[in-house]
Chains A and B, each alone.
Chain A
Amino acid sequence: MKRLFICFVLLMMIVVVGCNNQKDDAEPAPEESQKTLTIVWAEWDPANYLQELSKDFTTETGIAVDVVQIPWPTFQDKVFNTFVAKGDIYDIVIGDSQWLGRNSVGGHYIDMTEWINENIDVASIYAPAMTAFAEYPKGSKKYWALPAEVDAAGYVFRKDLFEDPKEMEAFQKKYGYALAPPTTYSELRDIAEFFTRPDDELYGIATWYSKEYDGITMGFQQVMWSYGASYGDPDTYKVDGHINSEDAVKALDYYKDLLKFAPPDAPNYYWSETLDAYNAGKVAMAMNYFAFFPGVLDPEKNPTSHDKSGFFVAPKGPKGHYISIGGQGMSISEYSKNKDIAKQYLKWFMQKPVQEKWAKLGGFTPLKEVLESDTFKNATPYNEAFAASFPYLRDFWAVPQYAELLAECQTNWSEAITGIKTSKEALDTIAQKHEEIFTEAMKDSTDTE
């Protein structure tokens, strides 16, 4: 038995030595690794812009920056699983606004309130962006992030169709007003109906109806708000009577009706599908986050209308004007071994010249002065519409239970638009489920106290 034990110890030693040798080969020296800041973000153009921008930080400080990009469908899972494992592979996380509640309460983001108040001019940042991407609980002035990429849902339209004299005349004749980018949901419906010609393989609109992640929720919520309904009272977490109000039913009926003017696969559409549908020339108008619009202007991706595209702000409804916020904030991981460098990077990132370059590269700046400048508005064909969308931005719940709340919205709204449930039934179910989730959450927090 003693010999067996010696054999086992020897075997373990070989394994350990082998592992150590492998580590020596694969990893740089400890000093080198300390000088690399790792930022994790979703795989999309803004992450490439950030990698490019960060070269200036490296030049100034000698600290390398690696922007790790994770494909959208697995972005949340991968980041959250790293947090659960308390992994230190990411120093800065550029995460969705909805993540704030869960990751601040869960202890995965560091509390940056004091540091931000001392080092960042909060007044220079667009206030709704600070609220959406940095503050939790809302209105508490407790900060867990700084806005990185501030995005909004907007629309792209085919100028060649909208400015065709024959189309303009026909539209005027049918609807009694001039064909132009819509400013209300009623006009949006008329235009979508007008351009729906299945025999010509042309449809009026492509917007978000997918059950994938937060697809239909981000598409429908801005209609719901603009029709006068809301998710609930953020102070009391009372939901019944808000999300299933008469206004909400009208809004959902409207959104379902709009589906008639969308391509056949539209219930599966989220940002990539709407972009593809527009670029393939299937639709006259398409909704998407502004950050995806570079794909519309790329002649390789959009040979049909890359030079014939215009952009407009999401329309207003009968009782208000609200737009779904997109984009993400920069938080520092609790498990990072480079927290000081991460703070140094955030401070550098929020400087005006850096933000100007960020905007020039294609990023959407949260800095008011840069955002409101003519340089920014004229930088791309869609920046003006983006800047005009800013005052109307609103967000989904950012509480720790957001995923459960979101799942109920996704499932029930998907059931409503495909006729499984009526609008009223779907909204009543959401109201009931949301009330249950909040009641349970409040009970849990009381038990903890």
Chain B
Amino acid sequence: MQTNRFSRGMSDYQLKMAFIMPTMILLILMNIFPLLWSLYLSFHDYEASMQKPPVFIGAKNYVDVLTDPDIWGYFRTTAYFVVVAVSAQFLIGFGLALLLNRSFPSKGLVTTLLLLPMMLSPVVVGIFWRFILASDNSGLLNYLLSPILNLPVINTIFAPPIEWTTDPKIAMLAVVIVDTWMWSPFMMLISLAGLSAVPKSLYEAADVDRASTWFKFRWITLPLVSPLLLIALLFRTMDAFKMFDIVYVLTREGGPGRVTETVSMNLYRIAFRNYDTGKACAMAYILLIIIVALSNIYVKYLNRVKGEE
């Protein structure tokens, strides 16, 4: 009876608020407040490890970040990584999904095994790829490639062993390989979901019209799968832009030199090694703006694709 009286006493609005408020409070404390606080700090000279109050310096941190040629170098490195890694993941992931989108024995087991890499921790992945990419005799990849690398034609171009993580010319390729190995399954999973949702009747109708395989792929599969592919690309682009763990572990904090040092790696250095908190906040905001801008491009394109449907 008490409960009934109690629920009768609450208006719809109050009930709604009772359900929403805990989440709202949590969001404000965990997300909104840090976001606003870091925005505030980005306009201040502040070092978290020094017991001095923040000093307002206007946009100096932003100017410092945007006029630092080294930081532009880290942005270029990151952009290169994002374009190459996400493209490779897209092609491999979508290709695998096309192969898996048919019936064959043990399909479930094969799909599960292919999905395993993305379920591992990036740090663990970085550590075991360290061993796989080792350029001495313990390196599995060099061992597997040795029959090819020792061919006279190849030998003149790549003198074995390939120094995957220490040669400045190919260190970034090593990071791309590891990230692609880890995240192509994600692309595959989303693509597979899209491919499974394409109505069979469309293909049957196309078969009746004697449409070619390419025609069916270009005019049935691709248009219907593309919204999901764009979402997968959006997630991977945002994630790749924040690349940190694998670089930290695999190439020892972005080495050799700064060849694989991404913006996030440099951000970590500024924030947690140098404790230049104000500058780190400014850099984080610049990174956020770039990611939001990139996401908007994808979302606009996604809307266009949906509109065409």
Measuring CB to CB, which residues of chain A are less than 8 angstroms from any residue of chain B? 1, 3-4, 7-8, 76-77, 80-81, 83-84, 102-103, 105-108, 201, 210-213, 215, 263-268, 270, 282, 400-401, 403-404, 407, 410-412, 414-415, 417-421, 444, 448
Contact = CB atoms under 8 A, between A and B. Distances in A.
Contacts of B49: 80, 83-84, 102-103, 106, 108
Given A418-B166, A420-B259, A212 B135 contact: no
Contact of B168 (A107, A265, A282, A418): A418
A420 B77 CA distance: 15
A211 B135 contact: no
A77 B272 CA distance: 7
Given A80-B272, A107-B51, A267-B163, 19 more contacts: A4-B10, A7-B18, A84-B49, A84-B275, A102-B49, A102-B275, A105-B50, A107-B50, A211-B253, A211-B255, A213-B253, A263-B136, A268-B252, A407-B269, A412-B257, A417-B256, A418-B255, A420-B168, A421-B257
Given A102-B49, A265-B134, A265-B135, A81 B256 contact: no
Given A210-B255, A415-B257, A265 B17 contact: no
A3 B272 contact: no
B14 interface: yes
A206 B9 CA distance: 78
Contacts of B276: 404
A80 B275 contact: yes
Given A3-B6, A264-B161, A404-B274, A415 B166 contact: no
A201 B137 contact: yes
Contact of B255 (A84, A267, A282, A444): A267
Interface string B250-289: 0111111111010000000100111110000000000000
B273 to A, nearest CB: 5
A4 B17 contact: yes
Nearest to B142: A264
B99 to A, nearest CB: 36
A84 B47 CA distance: 10
Interface string B226-258: 000000000000000000000000011111111
Contacts of A263: 136
Interface of B: 6, 9-10, 14, 17-18, 21, 45, 47-52, 134-137, 161, 163, 165-168, 251-259, 261, 269, 272-276
Contacts of B165: 265, 268
A264 B162 CA distance: 9
22 contacts: A1-B14, A76-B273, A84-B275, A103-B49, A106-B47, A107-B51, A201-B136, A210-B252, A210-B255, A264-B166, A267-B256, A268-B255, A401-B274, A411-B257, A411-B258, A411-B261, A412-B257, A414-B257, A418-B166, A418-B256, A419-B168, A420-B257
Given A3-B6, A419-B168, A81 B163 contact: no
A305 B143 CA distance: 26
Q: Looking at chain B's contact residues, is the secondary structure mostly helix, strand, loop, or mixed?
A: loop
Contacts of A3: 6, 9-10
B206 to A, nearest CB: 54
A263 B163 CA distance: 11
Contacts of A201: 136-137
B15 to A, nearest CB: 9
Contacts of B168: 418-420
Contacts of B259: 420
Contact of B163 (A210, A264, A404, A410): A264
A14 B47 CA distance: 38
A211 B252 contact: yes
A5 to B, nearest CB: 10
A76 B269 CA distance: 12
Contacts of B47: 106
Task: Specify which of B48, B137, B253 lies most central, judged by the most chain A CB atoms within 10 Å of its CB.
Answer: B253
Nearest to B165: A268
A77 B45 CA distance: 21
A421 B14 CA distance: 67
Contacts of B269: 407
Contacts of B135: 264-265
Contacts of B17: 4
Contacts of A412: 257
Question: Lowest 3 A-B CB distances belong to which pairs?
Answer: A415-B257, A211-B255, A267-B166
A444 B55 CA distance: 11
Contact of A211 (B45, B50, B161, B256): B256
Contacts of A105: 50
Contacts of A76: 273
Contacts of B167: 418
Contacts of A267: 163, 166, 255-256
Contacts of A211: 251-257
Contacts of A213: 253
A60 to B, nearest CB: 36
Interface centre among A3, A7, A282 (most CB of B within 10 A): A3
Contacts of A210: 252, 255
A4 B12 CA distance: 12
A245 B10 CA distance: 79
